Structure 1
């Protein structure tokens, strides 16, 4: 019984740490796009890592971290759409990493495309609803850069974490 409680506490703590890492990587390492309070960031790379390391808890870390990031970055109107989009961003990684001992596999790299397309489409719809669809279309190139940059950072950090076998500590 005590081991189960320890595992749950450990999982909650790591989820909170990943949410904080996602929030910081998103809100403080960013470039404003000048379009509807939007900004370009590579915090999605931390969501991808969370998906590979935390299982279903990653969606919670992504939603909390992404939503808090928008509030911290001065764009609170985006917090709810971001929480939804980012929670789903983690799902492809949760699925492919379920039985993997490594972060970077051919499947996890392919999931950066799936997740990136979800980001582009999700923000296109959200921005279209919040502002207008013609304006939303102007943000698509920034969303693509964000997805590609996040994928590159994910692969680099994931390879480093695989080298130190981080998963045996989580």
Structure 2
């Protein structure tokens, strides 16, 4: 059995109807406002088939023009801002992969007058998401869970002399202090 991602929305809202206040709210990042608009286009209202496929994370990231990692941060912003909530469903073949998530839009609640803004006055969705990430990191550190790969924050990185990278030839072959030309 394979799972497919979905976007669900209650309240019988017509296709393409979105909350303009959310799309125009400067407390939400441009990525978040765009992601909300993209999710609205996928919303299933009574079995309508958009013929656009399913909103897998990779596809959403591509449509947003960002990496999957940036998409994940934007999704967290949206959850913190109360625009939607995500039902994460693990892939049957890989329980650590949540590509078949169900995105539950909360715009029908807004239109019915039941939606409450979870952000504090003057707080942006990105700030709220950063606070959630910081709390998660702190909880993992307190539980003794080590970060995966890379260098831990605060670790000084040292340059290894004489080692070529894929972007620069060894020092003996004209590399070293030369810089790769930047794209114009």
Q: What's the TM-score, normalizing by structure 1?
A: 0.26
Higher helix share: 1
Q: What's the TM-score, normalizing by structure 2?
A: 0.25
